[in-house]
């Protein structure tokens, strides 16, 4: 690139970063994600390293944050409120350590404290003689905004420190008064203490808040960070008080004391302990390490455990424990050399919502799907995301053409959090759900009390595709090679009108349905593909009854109920003839499932399918393979909740059933054990309230040992 192009890009970067700083810090309404912002800053720094002579005071690298907004009094901070340099990964963190080692050889023996980097709003709290007198935002690091009135409403901010001693004094005159300056166990307070911490909304509280807003038909918030910032930086303290804000502190900005004691803590570890003793909320996730390797290893280990933290954390902070040493290292721009922010890979990014596609499920449910401008989130290119349902789109007012915030975290399917309303051009139209099924054109229906819209046309080709997909799946008839593309073609050509037609397919039918791509990419020649498929179809005729019941796709009848049903009703004739009472005598079959089974067998179309299956010789009898294996878990019933580290959902089921146990979906008094993993759902509470034993993965293995 030519220098002039470089220069242009540099000016552009400065302008962009200044703009986004303003959106984030002054307006509390960012229009790009933190990750995208960080990327711009990384690029700016690269240019500035290559051309140090270009750096002027207007560069965003020369200050932290942005100017305070006009509505609050400005406050000059007693010391600059610094920012942190970022490390993206272990290599970066090691590079930081190498750099500081070169500056001071004491680093080789230094200890480190690792703390979570809370994604909230940085505040500066002033205490005079132990009384909270002023609280400010960080602003640009020099000048902040006086938000004392709002901060007073935050319950976890101590209005008087030390907290315990004050309480002892108030409680009773008869209690011995603890004199701070004479009592060794009570921490003392300097004349002036200015601390810094992070105000945030815990994730659970945020979810509750949004749920309440949703129930009242009000607009919900996008994420905890912006909500926390918005709640503090508005002029009505009553509004702040109504928000579930809380605090964690991590730094002493100023310490002034006329007497020798107490002494200012000179290690980060002691500092945290001291502030905790005074009554400040301090993280209990901080750890101290004797060397950088273990500090980095601990830090990196939090990346996939971040959801265990009760708040949103965008990384961990690695700090040199010795505060004198850290101070002596000085800073680069506004970033102290004595600490580094180890950022977790981003999970939220913004991208354009190109359109909303509607898919039809097996039961006819219409599901909206976001078509996105492809975007990378934590190493994966995301093109589609779920929009949950039509109510969600309406409630968040998500419009095609919007820039949207998309989240991809862990195993969860990427989803659209909401639109960045401020980036609308004005041309975006509110989304109207379809009135007709996008696959068959028939009118769609909505049932009282349900969120979903349905296509109720039993002959809808899209439903048929999903039905066939389910019928041939591994847990059902297990017909290998009948992929979705072939199924679609067969349905389109009229060869498959229902699931039973699979058994009358000829070699020619299959050859005709192979796409050009199948012919090219498959290793076998087309004739061989057709033969293999026919053989798989043929083998499936001998599948046991429980699998065929699963394959029918009756609402609420999964593998477990299908196996139970096949034991009670050893043929489809008997199952079809069963009454509601007889059905409900089967373990795990309640009135709803019984109703669904009756409904399924009463439909003319389904009866025809059954006839066709019978004629095709797909009519297994007897409990056959469905009888449970005998083992150490025989007679025990299990329910699983949360994520297990050593098992997928299917595998844990296989494991339990393989050892003779049963797995059911919901906890009842008959449940022997609840196997609980990470992030357990409401089943855990239910088990606890019913007194059902709760065990972990290792205890489950022990039961089988």
Q: Known catalytic residues?
A: 117
Q: How far is the CB of 643 from ligand IVH (least distance, A)?
A: 27
Asked if residue 251 binds ligand IVH (CB under 6 A), the reply is yes
Which residues on adjacent β-strands are paired with residue 355?
371
Q: How far is the CB of 281 from ligand IVH (least distance, A)?
A: 12
Asked if residue 117 binds ligand IVH (CB under 6 A), the reply is yes
Asked if residue 148 binds ligand IVH (CB under 6 A), the reply is no
Asked if residue 250 binds ligand IVH (CB under 6 A), the reply is yes
CA distances 9 to 90, 159, 191, Å, are 29, 48, 50
Q: Which of 26, 66, 84, 405 binds ligand IVH (CB under 6 A)?
A: 84
Closer by beta carbon to ligand IVH, 330 or else 410: 330
What is the rounded distance in angstroms from the CA atom of residue 353 to the CA atom of residue 372?
A: 5
Q: Which of 21, 122, 150, 606 binds ligand IVH (CB under 6 A)?
A: 122
Q: Give burial (CB, 10 Å; 0-12/13-18/19+) of 168.
A: middle
Q: How far is the CB of 128 from ligand IVH (least distance, A)?
A: 23
Q: Which of 13, 317, 437, 472 binds ligand IVH (CB under 6 A)?
A: 317
Binding residue count for ligand IVH, defined by CB under 6 A: 14
Q: Which of 60, 130, 144, 336 binds ligand IVH (CB under 6 A)?
A: 336
Closer by beta carbon to ligand IVH, 119 or else 564: 119
CA distances 89 to 40, 92, 162, 345, 382, Å, are 17, 6, 39, 8, 22
Tokens of 23: 């959106």
Stretch that binds ligand IVH, among 21-29, 82-90, 402-410, 427-435 (CB under 6 A): 82-90
Coil, strand, or helix at residue 541?
Answer: coil
> Which residues, including other chains, have CB under 8 Å from residue 664's CB and lie 6 or more apart?
560, 587, 588, 637, 638, 639, 671
Stretch that binds ligand IVH, among 116-124, 268-276, 501-509, 663-671 (CB under 6 A): 116-124
What is the rounded distance in angstroms from the CA atom of residue 650 to the CA atom of residue 149?
A: 54
Closer by beta carbon to ligand IVH, 114 or else 687: 114
Asked if residue 34 binds ligand IVH (CB under 6 A), the reply is no
Question: ∠499-500-501 over CA atoms, to 5°?
Answer: 90
Closer by beta carbon to ligand IVH, 100 or else 465: 100
Tokens of 208: 């509750």
Q: How far is the CB of 339 from ligand IVH (least distance, A)?
A: 6
Give the DSSP per-residue string, 413-441: PPEEEEE-GGG--S-PPPP---SB-TTT-
Q: How far is the CB of 137 from ligand IVH (least distance, A)?
A: 10
What is the rounded distance in angstroms from the CA atom of residue 60 to the CA atom of residue 40?
A: 11
262 preceded by a cis bond (ω within 30 of 0) = yes
Asked if residue 115 binds ligand IVH (CB under 6 A), the reply is yes
For residues 262 to 301, the per-residue mask of contacts with ligand IVH, x marking binding by CB under 6 A and - elsewhere, is ----------------------------------------
**CB nearest ligand IVH: which residue?**
122
For residues 337 to 366, the per-residue mask of contacts with ligand IVH, x marking binding by CB under 6 A and - elsewhere, is --x-x-------------------------
Stretch that binds ligand IVH, among 333-341, 400-408, 543-551, 631-639 (CB under 6 A): 333-341
Closer by beta carbon to ligand IVH, 82 or else 406: 82
Closer by beta carbon to ligand IVH, 317 or else 597: 317
Q: How far is the CB of 151 from ligand IVH (least distance, A)?
A: 15
What is the rounded distance in angstroms from the CA atom of residue 134 to the CA atom of residue 410?
A: 41
Closer by beta carbon to ligand IVH, 317 or else 358: 317
Closer by beta carbon to ligand IVH, 67 or else 168: 67
Q: By the 8 A CB rule, do 480 and 375 touch?
A: no
Tokens of 391: 């109510």
Asked if residue 32 binds ligand IVH (CB under 6 A), the reply is no
| Residue in the block written with tokens 């970063």 | 17
Q: Which of 142, 198, 498, 657 binds ligand IVH (CB under 6 A)?
A: 198
Backbone phi, psi, residue 80, to 5°? -60, 135
Asked if residue 416 binds ligand IVH (CB under 6 A), the reply is no
What is the rounded distance in angstroms from the CA atom of residue 472 to the CA atom of residue 449?
A: 33
What is the rounded distance in angstroms from the CA atom of residue 170 to the CA atom of residue 181?
A: 18
Closer by beta carbon to ligand IVH, 339 or else 472: 339
Q: Which of 93, 118, 147, 228 binds ligand IVH (CB under 6 A)?
A: 118
Asked if residue 222 binds ligand IVH (CB under 6 A), the reply is no
Closer by beta carbon to ligand IVH, 341 or else 375: 341
Q: How far is the CB of 331 from ligand IVH (least distance, A)?
A: 8
Q: By the 8 A CB rule, do 469 and 484 touch?
A: yes
What is the rounded distance in angstroms from the CA atom of residue 655 to the CA atom of residue 399?
A: 45
162 preceded by a cis bond (ω within 30 of 0) = yes
Q: Which residues of 593-620 are buried (b: 16+ CB within 10 A; e: fewer)?
A: bbebbeebbeeeebeebbebbeeeebeb
Q: How far is the CB of 67 from ligand IVH (least distance, A)?
A: 16
Coil, strand, or helix at residue 486?
Answer: helix
| Residue in the block written with tokens 């005729």 | 541
Asked if residue 326 binds ligand IVH (CB under 6 A), the reply is no
Interface residues toward ligand IVH, by CB under 6 A: 82-84, 115, 117-118, 122, 198, 250-251, 317, 336, 339, 341
């Amino acid at each position: 690139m030519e220098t002039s192009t470089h220069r242009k890009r540099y000016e552009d970067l400065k302008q962009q970063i200044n703009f986004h700083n303003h959106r984030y810090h002054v307006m509390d309404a960012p229009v790009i994600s933190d990750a995208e912002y960080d990327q711009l800053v990384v690029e700016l720094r690269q240019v500035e390293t290559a051309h140090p002579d270009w750096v002027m005071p207007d560069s965003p690298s020369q200050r932290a944050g942005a100017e305070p907004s006009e509505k609050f009094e400005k406050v000059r901070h007693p010391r600059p409120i610094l920012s942190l340099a970022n490390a993206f990964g272990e290599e970066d963190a090691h590079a930081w350590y190498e750099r500081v080692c070169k500056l001071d050889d004491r680093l080789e023996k230094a200890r480190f404290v690792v703390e979570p980097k809370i994604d909230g709003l940085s505040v500066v709290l002033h205490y005079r003689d132990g009384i909270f007198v002023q609280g400010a935002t960080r602003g640009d690091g020099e000048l902040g905004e006086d938000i004392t009135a709002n901060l007073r409403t935050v319950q976890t901010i101590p209005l008087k420190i030390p907290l315990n001693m004050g309480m002892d004094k108030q409680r009773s005159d008869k209690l011995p008064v603890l004199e701070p300056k004479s009592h060794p166990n009570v921490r003392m307070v300097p004349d002036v203490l200015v601390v810094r911490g992070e105000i945030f909304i815990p994730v659970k509280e945020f979810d509750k808040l949004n749920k309440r807003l949703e129930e009242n038909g009000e607009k919900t918030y996008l994420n905890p960070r912006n909500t926390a910032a918005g709640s503090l930086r508005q002029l009505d303290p009553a509004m702040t008080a109504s928000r579930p804000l809380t605090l964690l502190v991590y730094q002493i900005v100023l310490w002034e004391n006329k007497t020798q004691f107490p002494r200012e803590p000179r290690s980060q570890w002691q500092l945290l302990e001291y502030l905790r003793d005074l009554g400040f909320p301090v993280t209990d996730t901080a750890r101290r390490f004797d060397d950088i390797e273990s500090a980095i290893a601990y830090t990196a280990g939090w990346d996939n455990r971040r959801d265990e933290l009760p708040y949103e954390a965008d990384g961990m902070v690695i700090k040199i424990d010795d505060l004198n040493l850290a101070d002596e290292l000085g800073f680069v721009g506004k970033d102290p050399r004595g600490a580094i922010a180890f950022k977790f890979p981003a999970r939220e990014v913004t991208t354009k919502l190109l359109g909303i596609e509607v898919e039809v499920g097996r039961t006819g449910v219409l599901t909206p799907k976001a078509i996105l401008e492809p975007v990378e989130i934590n190493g994966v290119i995301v093109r589609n995301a779920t929009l949950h349902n039509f109510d969600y789109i309406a409630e968040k007012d998500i419009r095609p053409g919007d820039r949207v915030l998309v989240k991809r975290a862990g195993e969860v399917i990427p989803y659209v959090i909401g639109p960045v309303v401020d980036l609308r051009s004005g041309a975006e139209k509110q989304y109207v759900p379809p009135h007709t099924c996008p696959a068959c054109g028939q009118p769609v229906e909505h049932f009282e009390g349900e969120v979903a819209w349905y296509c109720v046309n039993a002959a809808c080709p899209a439903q048929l595709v999903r039905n066939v997909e389910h019928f041939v799946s591994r847990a059902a008839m297990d017909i290998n090679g009948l992929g979705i593309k072939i199924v679609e073609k067969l349905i389109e050509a009229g060869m498959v009108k229902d699931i039973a037609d699979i058994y009358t397919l000829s070699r020619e039918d299959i050859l005709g349905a192979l796409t050009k791509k199948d012919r090219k990419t498959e290793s076998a020649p087309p004739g061989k593909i057709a033969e293999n498929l026919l053989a798989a179809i043929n083998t499936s005729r001998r599948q046991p009854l429980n699998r065929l019941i699963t394959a029918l796709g009756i609402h609420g009848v999964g593998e477990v109920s299908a196996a139970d049903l096949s034991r009670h009703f050893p043929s489809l004739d008997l199952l079809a003839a069963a009454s509601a009472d007889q059905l409900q005598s089967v373990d795990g079959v309640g009135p709803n499932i019984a109703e669904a089974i009756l409904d399924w067998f009463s439909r003319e179309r389904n009866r025809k399918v059954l006839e066709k299956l019978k004629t095709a010789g797909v009519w297994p009898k007897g409990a056959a393979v469905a009888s449970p294996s005998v083992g150490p878990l025989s007679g025990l019933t299990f329910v699983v909740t949360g994520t297990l580290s050593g098992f997928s959902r299917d595998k844990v089921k296989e494991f339990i059933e393989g050892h003779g146990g049963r797995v059911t979906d919901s906890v009842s008094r008959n449940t022997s054990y609840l196997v609980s993993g990470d992030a357990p759902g409401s089943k855990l509470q239910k088990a606890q309230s019913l007194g059902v034993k709760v065990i972990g993965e290792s205890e489950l293995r022990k039961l089988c040992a």
